[in-house]
Amino acid sequence: MNASCSFCGNKNIRNVKVQYIYRHDGQLLIVNGVPCEQCEYCGEQYFKAEVLKKIESDFNQVYTHRKKADREIRVPVEQYA
Ligand SMILES: [Zn+2]
């Protein structure tokens, strides 16, 4: 997709699968095994538009209860003090 990293200009981009955390209105969806292209130098990640659309669609389906997530985790939240 990218001939070189638009962040640092490095040309070594590899295909990897990563964990993507989608955030919207304070709600989260964690998706594992998401394909992306990652810069080997700075670690910048590039996702295809259709991949992000699919995650957004899954997020909406999970939060409107049209789809059940594979599993759910409890996430502690605290204020830095
Ligand atoms: Zn880079």
SS3 category, 7: coil
**HEC string of 26-47?**
CEEEEEEEEEEEEECCCCCEEC
Q: What does DSSP say about strands 45-46 and 13-24: parallel, antiparallel, or unpaired?
A: unpaired
Instruction: Name the pTM for this structure.
Output: 0.85
pLDDT digits (tens, 9 = 90+) for 10-69: 999 999 999 999 999 999 999 999 999 999 999 999 999 999 999 999 999 999 999 999
What spacing in Å lies between the alpha carbon of 80 and ligand 1's midpoint? 31
Q: In the chain, where are the structural domains located?
A: 13-63
Which residues sit with Cβ closer than 5 angstroms to ligand 1, an ion? 5, 7-8, 10, 39, 41-42, 44
Given a cut of 70, whether residue 1 has pLDDT beyond it is no
Nearest to 12 by CA among 21, 24, 3, 25: 3
Is residue 57 a contact partner of residue 67, using CB atoms and an 8 Å limit? Answer: no
